[in-house]
């Protein structure tokens, strides 16, 4: 089973998640948007499903994929200390620039 981290390692899978952020999409629409082959998109969707990052809904012959953001909390939790690190650095830069306007 793929983890959220492994699934997010591929830029095409990140693009798929970006597209699904707005709304559910059919595979054919993802193929058109990404410029990849249908088997290629399906392979990426399988990895995203295994990581529980997307849901699939069957409607007659079409499959609709939607974003399932809950597994991203693990990634968000991991990133939290790095956000704090950069925030502290940027605050220090701001203070330095205010103290040294030249």
Instruction: Give the range of the structural domain holding residue 96, as residue numbers without chain letter.
Output: 71-102
Please check whether residues 21 and 58 belong to one and the same domain: yes
DSSP the chain: ---HHHHHTSHHHHHHHHHHHHS-EEHHHHHHHHT--HHHHHHHHHHHHHTT-EEEEEETTEEEEEE--TTHHHHHHHHHHHHHHHHHHHHHHHHHHHH---
Residue 52 bridge partners (DSSP): none
Q: How confident is the model at residue 1 (pLDDT cuts 50, 70, 90)?
A: low
Please check whether residues 60 and 98 belong to one and the same domain: no
Please check whether residues 58 and 80 belong to one and the same domain: no
* 94 has pLDDT over 80: yes
Predicted model pTM: 0.78
Please check whether residues 53 and 75 belong to one and the same domain: no
Q: What is the CATH number of the domain that holds 8?
A: 1.10.10.10
Please check whether residues 45 and 4 belong to one and the same domain: yes
Share of the chain above pLDDT 70, in %: 98
Q: What is the mean pLDDT of residues 65-91?
A: 87
């Amino acid at each position: 089973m793929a983890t959220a981290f492994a699934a997010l390692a591929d830029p095409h899978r990140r693009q798929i998640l970006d597209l699904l952020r707005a709304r559910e999409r059919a595979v054919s629409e993802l193929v058109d948007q990404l410029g990849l082959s249908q088997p290629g998109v399906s392979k990426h969707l399988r990895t995203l499903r295994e990581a529980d990052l997307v849901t699939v809904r069957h409607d007659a012959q079409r499959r609709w994929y939607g974003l399932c953001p809950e597994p991203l909390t693990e990634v968000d939790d991991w990133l939290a200390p790095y956000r704090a690190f950069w925030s502290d650095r940027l605050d220090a830069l701001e203070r330095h620039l205010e103290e040294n306007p030249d």
